[in-house]
């Protein structure tokens, strides 16, 4: 079978609790930044999870992170706010504006293939769409399929893993798509910076303040 445990393929890139809600854990995550939330939050807990666009020093968009992590980067002097979120978080003493867009103060080289191969990122790449029947499903209704089965030497790689619904996964079994009479919607590719820009544009529709950085 081509089903697999989700942690079985988390072998590239770093994982950190702060990467939750962030789809490019390798792109802008300096080492050793596991600082607890610096601001005691009474209200607006969910605001701390809001997405923040991360720009390189050159204003090139490179990543999306969460407010919490963005504020850690600002406190460490790694990044500065370029745009602010209209809402505030409240600590015991006062209110704080939170960023919507931050920019790294030092230029960071982003390797093309730094992105972690993970179930989450493969579902993101495939937009939660089964690559065999074209159906769109929630995360829990999807699994990963090895296009060339592992029993035939198929690797756990960007090029050989696709998002798949359980029905198609059962249909395919331990066969290649051709043998099972299934056709791939498209050839699976690595999750590149180009893909992440497309995703940032999609997310950017939610936030007016992102647009001038994304539609260039
Ligand atoms: Zn399907």
* Domain extent listing, the chain: 17-112+194-214, 116-180
If you average pLDDT over residues 154-179, what whole number do you get? Answer: 94
What is the whole-number distance in angstroms between the Cα of residue 31 and the centre of ligand 1?
A: 39
Residues 6+ apart with CB under 8 A from 153: none
Q: Which two tokens stand for residue 52?
A: 């923040």
Rounded distance between C-alpha atoms, residue 214 and residue 216, angstroms: 6
- Per-residue pLDDT, 201: 72
Helix residue ranges, H only, the chain:
67-75, 119-125, 166-172, 177-180, 193-204, 211-214
Structure tokens at 41: 């939050």
Architecture, CATH, for domain 116-180: Orthogonal Bundle (1.10)
Instruction: Provide the 3-class DSSP secondary structure of residue 143.
Output: strand
Residue 65's closest CA among 48, 75, 52, 82? 52
74 CA distance to ligand 1 middle (Å): 43
Model-level pTM?
0.49
CA of 164 to the centre of ligand 1 (A): 5
Q: How far is the CA of 177 from the centre of ligand 1 (A)?
A: 12
Lowest mean pLDDT among 25-29, 57-61, 71-75, 134-138: 25-29
| Neighbouring-strand partners of residue 104 | 79
What's the whole-number average pLDDT of the chain? 76
């Amino acid at each position: 079978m081509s089903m697999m445990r989700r942690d079985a393929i988390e072998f590239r890139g770093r994982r950190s609790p702060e990467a939750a809600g962030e789809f490019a854990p390798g792109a802008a995550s300096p080492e050793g930044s596991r600082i607890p939330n610096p601001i005691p939050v009474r209200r607006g807990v969910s605001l701390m999870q809001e997405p923040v666009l991360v720009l390189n020093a050159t204003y090139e968009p490179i990543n999306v992170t969460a407010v919490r992590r963005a504020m850690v980067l600002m406190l460490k002097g790694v990044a500065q706010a370029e745009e602010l979120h209209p809402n505030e978080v409240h600590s015991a003493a006062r209110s704080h504006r939170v960023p919507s867009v931050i920019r790294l103060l030092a230029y960071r080289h982003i390797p093309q293939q730094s992105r972690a191969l993970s179930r989450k990122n493969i579902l993101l790449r495939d937009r939660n769409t089964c690559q065999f029947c074209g159906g769109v499903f929630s995360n829990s209704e999807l699994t990963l399929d090895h296009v060339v089965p592992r029993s035939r030497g198929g690797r756990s790689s960007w090029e050989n893993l696709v998002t798949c619904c359980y029905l198609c996964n059962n249909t395919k079994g331990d066969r290649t798509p051709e043998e099972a009479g299934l056709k791939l919607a498209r050839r699976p590719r690595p999750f590149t910076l180009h893909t992440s820009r497309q995703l940032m544009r999609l997310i950017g529709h939610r936030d007016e303040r992102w647009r001038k950085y994304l539609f260039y």
